[in-house]
C-alpha cells in the first residue's frame, strides 16, 4: 500500500525489497503504467527491470564452509543442522542450498 501511495504521489523511483515475490508483480505493473522505475533489492521478480543483490548461493556457501570449520574444530566434526528457508522467497532457498553445499 505504501508503494502504491508513492506511485500516486509521483516519486522518481521506487526501491523495494519484495518479501512475497508473486505479491509484488501487480505493483510492478502499476509502476510501469505510471512510468515509475522500480529497483528491486535481493529477490528477482517476473517483470522486473532492475535488481541489486548479492549472490545468495555464494553467501550461503561461504557461511556453510565457516560453519563446517567451526564444527570440525569445536564440535568434533559433528553438527546437528536444521536448515529453514522460505520456499516462496527464492533468495532463502538459494542461501539454504549454498549453506548445505558449503557445510
Q: Are residues 62 and 88 in the same domain?
A: yes
Query: What distance in Å separates the CA atoms of residue 22 and residue 81, rounded to the nearest whole number?
Result: 29
pLDDT greater than 90 at residue 5: yes
The count of other CB atoms within 10 Å of the CB of residue 95 is 23
Provide the grid cell at 78: 559433528
pLDDT single digits (tens) 36-85:
999 988 877 877 778 888 899 999 999 999 999 999 999 999 999 998 87
- Compute CA distances 97 → 2, 42, 59, whole Å: 33, 16, 10
H/E element holding 14? Answer: strand 14-16
Q: Are residues 48 and 60 in the same domain?
A: no
Task: Note the pTM of the prediction, 2 decimals.
Answer: 0.65
The domain in which residue 90 lies consists of 56-102
Q: Are residues 68 and 88 in the same domain?
A: yes
Amino acid at each position: 500500500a505504501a508503494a502504491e501511495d508513492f506511485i500516486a504521489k509521483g516519486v522518481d523511483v521506487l526501491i523495494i525489497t519484495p518479501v512475497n515475490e508473486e505479491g509484488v508483480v501487480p505493483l510492478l505493473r502499476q509502476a510501469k503504467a505510471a512510468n515509475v522505475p522500480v529497483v528491486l533489492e535481493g529477490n528477482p521478480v517476473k517483470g522486473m527491470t532492475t535488481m541489486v543483490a548479492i549472490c545468495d548461493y555464494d553467501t550461503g556457501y561461504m557461511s556453510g564452509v565457516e560453519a563446517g570449520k567451526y564444527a570440525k574444530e569445536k564440535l568434533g566434526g559433528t553438527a546437528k543442522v536444521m536448515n529453514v528457508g522460505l520456499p516462496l522467497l527464492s533468495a532463502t532457498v538459494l542461501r539454504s542450498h549454498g549453506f548445505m553445499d558449503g557445510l
